[in-house]
């Protein structure tokens, strides 16, 4: 059974600082998603990572995937208040295309 | 606005009842996914349809069923409702099933 572990679950940062959110998973997968959710809102897709070594960047967020280590990271550079949200990773099941398992989410608070 | 619509936005009903949630995907998207988000169980994948056919199945209860119609909209039917079914239900769509998923605003279900 695929298990996905995100850490930390809660993260309080100062504006301007850098930090990394980690997403570990237990079985082989060829796709990993990162999503953002604002309080009371829906999910917004941030990145889809499809291969080992994949790196994608959008603004102050950069995501990478190491399929051999079964690890993805979401790096935040020079955080700003607008990045405050909950971030989820989701890992696709190789044996059941379309099915994905989510991490518990990381709630990020960026303080001035 | 993701282009995915869901109705209704809110639904309050009683235990034992049956409800239908509706989702219209983005124009041109063939794949529809259903997810449940609750405090107890987090985000869970329920089911995926692609061009009218079931493509992947997740942790969907037998009391729940879904279908995708020829015009590509989808419905999620929840029956014999229990208190624990109270949750946010999201649908998402993608063009082929491997790329970015676009989420609808969700339906908040409260079972009393």
Q: How far is B21 from chain A (nearest CA, A)?
A: 16
pLDDT in tens, B55-106: 999 989 999 999 999 999 999 999 999 999 999 999 999 987 668 999 999 9
Q: Give the residue with greater pLDDT, B22 vs A31.
A: B22
pLDDT over 90, % of chain A:
85
> Which two tokens mark A91?
């890992």
pLDDT at residue B97, rounded to an integer: 63
CA dist list (Å): B21 to B5, B45, B91: 11, 16, 9
Residue of B nearest to A47 (CA): B100
Q: What mean pLDDT value characterizes chain A?
A: 94
Q: Is it the case that residue A92 has pLDDT exceeding 80?
A: yes
pLDDT at position A52 is: 83
* B57 contacts A96? CB cut-off 8 A: yes
Task: Decide if A99 touches B, using CB distance below 8 A.
Answer: yes
Burial bucket for residue A88 (CB in 10 Å: 0-12, 13-18, 19+)? buried
Which region among A102-106, B6-10, B20-24, B56-60 has the lowest average model confidence (pLDDT)? B56-60
Q: Min CA distance, B84 vs chain A (Å)?
A: 19
Residue A36 three-state SS: strand
Looking at residue B96, what is its pLDDT?
77
What are the E-state strand segments in B4-81? 5-7, 10-13, 19-24, 31-38, 42-50, 53-57, 64-68, 74-78
Confidence of residue B6 (pLDDT cuts 50, 70, 90): very high
**Where does A27-104 show beta strands of DSSP type E?**
32-37, 43-49, 55-58, 61-66, 71-76, 85-92, 100-102
């Amino acid at each position: 059974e695929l298990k996905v572990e995100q850490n930390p679950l809660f993260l309080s940062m100062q504006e301007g600082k850098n930090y990394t959110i980690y997403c570990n998973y237990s079985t082989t997968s060829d796709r990993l998603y990162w999503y953002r959710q604002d309080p009371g809102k829906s999910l917004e897709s941030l990145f889809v990572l499809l291969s080992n070594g994949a790196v994608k960047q959008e603004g102050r967020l950069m995501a990478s995937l190491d399929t051999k280590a079964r690890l993805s990271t979401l790096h935040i550079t020079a955080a700003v208040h607008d990045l405050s949200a909950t971030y989820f990773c989701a890992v696709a099941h190789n044996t059941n295309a379309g099915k994905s398992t989510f991490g518990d989410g990381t709630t990020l608070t960026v303080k001035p | 606005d993701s282009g995915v619509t869901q109705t209704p936005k809110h639904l309050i009903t009683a235990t034992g009842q049956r409800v239908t949630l509706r989702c219209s995907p983005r124009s041109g998207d063939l794949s529809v996914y259903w997810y449940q988000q609750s405090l107890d169980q987090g985000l869970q994948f329920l089911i995926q349809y692609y061009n009218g056919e079931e493509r992947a199945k997740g942790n969907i209860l037998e009391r729940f069923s879904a279908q995708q119609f020829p015009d590509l909209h989808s419905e999620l039917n929840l029956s014999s409702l229990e208190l624990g079914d109270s949750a946010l239900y999201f649908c998402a769509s993608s063009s082929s099933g491997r790329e970015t998923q676009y989420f609808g605003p969700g339906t908040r279900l409260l079972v009393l």
